[in-house]
């Protein structure tokens, strides 16, 4: 199953989830009504000696109470409102994305510039996986108080995704095992599971809130109910509320059961897929298998201690709750089954694991792979079908490529990318033009805008950057994003203003500059939240045909040296996207970057199948001659990222 099929499958599961939710809500509404009736009958039975008690129940026969239209409408409306408000409340709470889930579970964000060896090893693994897969490194949250081995990915999209890791996972796993776990979580990001899982949290909260109200009623009324009953046998409605609360707890338990069944139905098979993807990504079955074996042999296993563990139980790498007596309700497949699928020789016996640090990190040292390319313009050979297949996936070669890129970047420069002050200087240096006249103008602007230390930092970094191959540019931008996300609203506004001024200094926007702008708009702009919450609006190409034509026209002009080449590139894309109709290439003047941004925002709301066609057509546009330059590759990857289709780096270097 490729990226687009996985996204479609997740979307269909979302629709199925809505049906299950509606069915559960209907049953809960009916159950609450009969709980109300039952509570009234129980209390009325105890209060027969005083027929004036509970004016709202006296005068009705048992049959009247079991079916009273007005009572049913009132109780159903209140119950439905409570369930929907519970869901809405949780949706608002988690609308910030994965960070809200991680903080709910007690996680703290790891600083990108941490010096702690174990934390640094974890962040390096995440950075490698991010560069290999073509998405910015997600922030990492450490669950300090959790000694078990577990992890999760949470968020609506790669723009607001986070990786959560328990302290036990960080300390007990060696580097290969950690890489297997992180690859598993990245698979959830690619396959659409992450968005489905976070929406499932909100949906189930509305169902579970009934039980919480029952506990609240019982707890708040039991303290005074006995005294009230002694004074007036049945004259206080608290007795009714206690009985109703008990019924609601019972009904809430049914809601919990529904929640477990829904989570199990949604997540179990996805765990097998994520395990297989992790093996595919790393080409190292022993990594993820070793992590699962350590869970089986560790006294704490994968069980989380936080009282909020149940809410996110379907998100974890392994079962985060106490083992259920009913495997039907387990959110994860049995540990032994998962291991045997990866390692058929596994006997089912787990070696005991003791709390001691895992293996040390082994850094790649393959900088020679790109030696001699710093001053040249590398080109990549590819075909449209290969590019589409690469979306949302990666090969072990991509991890090798990521290690090579990271090895090329000096250690000090990587450190600058990991803290906000240095990350800003890296971006400013990346935007300084090689042409002397434009460079002078940009430096004059920076000298007037930045303070002395910031200017000197930018100039120092500039020397390091110009010695690097062009392929490192986008990786450097991706490395800066976690640090830049820590900027305040005011700091980000000032930073964005400087970026715009540096780009506009030469009165034109290069492909790299546009790619950088698109990445910042998607991943950093606090107002650009719609991509994380994007819902499918267009199920065919027809409603977004104009936006698609604009995107193809822009890509065709961007990589062409003449009008003839642009027309040829455009025709290649249209053969894929519009095989049955004649479409005209838009002139360069109609392909402004602002219009392209608007087009990408519109195309974002298309189905995965439509996006697959778009990526195929865009790829055909930029590789009409059979090769892609670094600039064209960066532009194509930025456009794919804007469509929430992460595209790994190109591997074939010519």
145 within 8 A of 133, measured Cβ to Cβ: no
* Residue 283: C-alpha distances to residues 279, 305, 515 (Å): 5, 33, 31
The dihedral through the CA atoms of 480, 483, 488, 491 has a sign that is negative
112 within 8 A of 483, measured Cβ to Cβ: yes
**Strand, helix or coil for residue 578:** coil
Degrees, nearest 5: CA angle 295-299-302: 40
Degrees, nearest 5: CA angle 274-276-279: 110
* Residue 344: C-alpha distances to residues 289, 319, 336, 580, 610 (Å): 10, 21, 10, 50, 39
Kindly write down the DSSP assignment for every residue of 500-554, as one continuous string.
Answer: HHHHHTTSS--HHHHHHHHHHHHHT-TT--GGGG----BSSSGGGHHHHHHHHHH
Active-site hit among 127, 128, 146, 185 = 185
Nearest to 434 by CA among 476, 383, 375, 354: 375
**Strand, helix or coil for residue 184:** helix
Q: Specify the long-range contacts of residues 449-457, CB closer than 8 Å, at least 24 apart.
A: 449/498, 449/501, 450/498, 454/421, 454/424, 454/425, 457/416, 457/421, 457/422, 457/425
* Residue 319: C-alpha distances to residues 8, 29, 45, 261, 338 (Å): 26, 31, 46, 15, 12
How buried is 101 (Cβ within 10 angstroms: 0-12 exposed, 13-18 middle, 19+ buried)? buried
Strand partners of residue 142 = 108, 165
Degrees, nearest 5: CA angle 345-348-353: 105
* Residue 448: C-alpha distances to residues 323, 421, 451, 497 (Å): 63, 18, 8, 13
How buried is 87 (Cβ within 10 angstroms: 0-12 exposed, 13-18 middle, 19+ buried)? buried
Distance from the Cα of residue 361 to its chain's centroid: 26
Nearest to 100 by CA among 171, 147, 152: 152
Distance from the Cα of residue 18 to its chain's centroid: 20
Q: How many CA atoms lie within 13 A of 93 on its CB side?
A: 18
115 contact partners, CB below 8 Å, separation of at least 6: none
574 contact partners, CB below 8 Å, separation of at least 6: 552, 583, 617
Rg (CA), the chain: 29
Phi and psi at 562, nearest 5°, equal -150, 170
Kindly write down the DSSP assignment for every residue of 582-635, as one continuous string.
Answer: --PPPPGGG--HHHHHHHHHHHTTB-HHHHHHHHHHHHHHHTTTSEEEHHHHHH
442 within 8 A of 505, measured Cβ to Cβ: yes
Does 185 qualify as catalytic in the annotation?
Answer: yes
The dihedral through the CA atoms of 312, 313, 317, 320 has a sign that is positive
Active-site annotation, residues: 185
């Amino acid at each position: 199953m490729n990226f687009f099929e996985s996204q479609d499958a997740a979307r269909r599961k979302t629709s199925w989830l809505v049906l299950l939710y509606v069915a559960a809500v209907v049953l809960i509404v009916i159950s609450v009504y009969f709980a109300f009736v039952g509570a009234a009958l129980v209390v009325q039975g105890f209060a027969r000696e005083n027929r004036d008690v509970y004016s709202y129940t006296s005068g009705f026969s048992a049959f009247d109470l079991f079916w009273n239209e007005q009572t049913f409408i009132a109780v159903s409306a209140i119950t439905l409102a409570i369930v929907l408000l519970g869901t809405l409340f949780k949706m608002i709470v988690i609308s910030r994305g994965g960070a809200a889930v991680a903080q709910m579970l007690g996680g703290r964000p790891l600083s990108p510039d941490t010096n702690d060896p174990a934390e640094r090893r974890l962040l390096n693994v995440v950075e490698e996986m991010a560069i290999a897969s073509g998405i910015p490194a997600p922030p990492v949250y450490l669950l300090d108080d959790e000694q078990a081995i577990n992890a999760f990915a949470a968020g609506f999209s790669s723009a607001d995704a986070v990786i959560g890791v328990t302290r036990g996972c960080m300390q007990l796993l060696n580097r290969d095992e950690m890489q297997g776990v992180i690859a598993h979580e990245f698979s959830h990001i690619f396959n659409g599971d992450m968005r489905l899982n976070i929406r499932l949290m909100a949906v189930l909260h509305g169902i579970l809130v009934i039980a919480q109200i029952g506990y609240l009623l019982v707890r708040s009324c039991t303290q005074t109910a006995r005294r009230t009953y002694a004074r007036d046998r049945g004259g206080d409605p608290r007795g009714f509320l206690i009985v109703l609360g008990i019924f609601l707890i019972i009904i809430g338990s049914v809601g919990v059961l529904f929640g477990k069944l829904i989570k199990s139905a949604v997540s179990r098979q996805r765990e097998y897929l994520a395990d297989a993807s992790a093996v595919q990504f790393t080409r190292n079955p022993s990594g993820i298998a070793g992590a699962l074996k350590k869970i089986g042999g560790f006294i704490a296993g994968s069980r989380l201690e936080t009282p909020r563990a149940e809410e996110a139980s379907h998100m974890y790498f392994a079962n985060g709750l106490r083992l259920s007596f009913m495997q039907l309700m387990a959110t994860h497949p049995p540990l032994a089954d998962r291991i045997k699928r990866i390692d058929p020789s596994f006997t089912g016996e787990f070696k005991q694991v003791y709390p001691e640090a895992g293996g040390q990190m082994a850094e790649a040292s393959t900088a020679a792979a790109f030696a001699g390319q710093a001053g040249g313009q590398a080109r990549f050979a590819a075909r449209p079908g290969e590019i589409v297949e690469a979306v949302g996936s990666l090969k072990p070669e991509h991890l090798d490529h990521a290690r090579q890129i990271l090895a090329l970047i000096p250690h000090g420069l990587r450190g600058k990318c990991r803290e906000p002050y240095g990350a800003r200087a890296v971006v400013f240096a990346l935007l300084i033009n090689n042409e002397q006249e434009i460079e002078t103008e940009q430096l004059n602007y920076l000298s007037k805008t930045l303070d002395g230390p910031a200017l000197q930092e930018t100039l120092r970094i500039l020397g390091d950057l110009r010695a690097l191959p062009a392929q490192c540019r986008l990786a450097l931008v991706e490395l800066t994003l976690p640090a830049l996300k820590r900027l305040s609203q005011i700091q980000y506004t000032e930073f964005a203003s400087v970026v715009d001024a540096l780009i506009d200094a030469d009165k034109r926007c290069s492909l790299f500059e546009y790619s950088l702008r698109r990445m910042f708009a998607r991943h950093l702009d606090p107002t650009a939240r719609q991509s994380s919450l994007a819902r499918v609006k267009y199920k065919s190409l027809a409603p977004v045909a104009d936006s698609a034509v604009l995107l193809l026209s822009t890509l065709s002009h961007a990589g062409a040296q003449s009008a003839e080449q642009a027309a040829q590139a455009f025709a290649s894309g249209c053969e894929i996207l519009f095989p049955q109709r004649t479409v005209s290439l838009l002139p360069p003047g109609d392909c402004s970057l602002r219009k392209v941004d608007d087009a990408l925002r519109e195309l974002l709301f298309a189905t995965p199948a439509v996006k697959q066609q778009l990526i195929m057509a865009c790829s055909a546009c930029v590789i009409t001659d059979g090769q892609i330059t670094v600039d064209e590759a960066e532009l194509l990857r930025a456009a794919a990222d804007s469509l929430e289709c992460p595209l790994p780096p190109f591997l074939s270097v010519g």
